[in-house]
Amino acid sequence: MKIHRTTLYAAVCALVLTGCGASAASISKADRNAMHSAVDSFTKAILSADFAGAASYWSEDATAMPPHAAADHGRADIQKLFAGFGKTSAFTQNVLETEGRGDLAYSRVGFDVTFTPPGATAPVTDKGKVLLVWGRQTDGKWLVTRGAWNSDLALPK
């Protein structure tokens, strides 16, 4: 009888521990491709001054965290943030890494941009990095839920 209780106890412990170790599956190649495609389409939207289109790659409750500024919350405010950059004459982004599990993923992106801020007479060129957090929506589409970026260049003195 004692052996059966020990065996039963060991089996229950094994089942509990196995359940605790379970995790969501890694994102698929199709998921990565969808996120990379969204980054490319976002870049094109910014270049064509389609700020509503650019913001459409962000969830309705997203948060954008630009450098040297307060965070913007919600797609409408993020659209205004993008429109405030001024005229973008050159913009490239290179997705360096995308990983995730289940309905949550991130991308690490490098960028090069040239833009003329409103009221400026000369364009500004910058190079930097972006961290995007993606959430899979109920329709299966991946949208940015959080995004932060900053420059690789030193601040002017």
CATH number of residue 64's parent domain: 3.10.450.50
Q: Establish if 57 belongs to a structural domain.
A: yes
Report pLDDT for 155: 83
Residue 13 lies in a domain: no
> Quick one: pLDDT at residue 24?
84
pTM of the shown model: 0.84
71 closest CA partner among 157, 156, 147: 147
The answer to the question of residue 21 being in a domain is no
- What are the structure tokens assigned to 129, written together? 């990095």
125 in a domain, yes or no?
yes
Lookup: tokens for 133? 């957090």
For position 22, what pLDDT does the model report? 53
CB atoms within 10 A of CB 109: 23
Q: Domain range for residue 127?
A: 26-151
Intervals of the chain under pLDDT 70: 1-23
Closest CA to 133 of 101, 88, 91: 101
- 41 falls within a domain: yes
pLDDT, tens only, 18-64: 444 456 899 999 999 999 999 999 999 999 999 999 999 999 999 99
pLDDT value of residue 4: 56
Does some domain include residue 19? no
In a domain, 82, yes or no: yes
**How many domains is the chain partitioned into structurally?**
1
What pLDDT score was predicted for residue 90? 98
Q: Where are the alpha helices (DSSP H) in the chain?
A: 2-20, 29-47, 51-55, 75-83
In a domain, 115, yes or no: yes
Confidence (pLDDT) at 28? 97
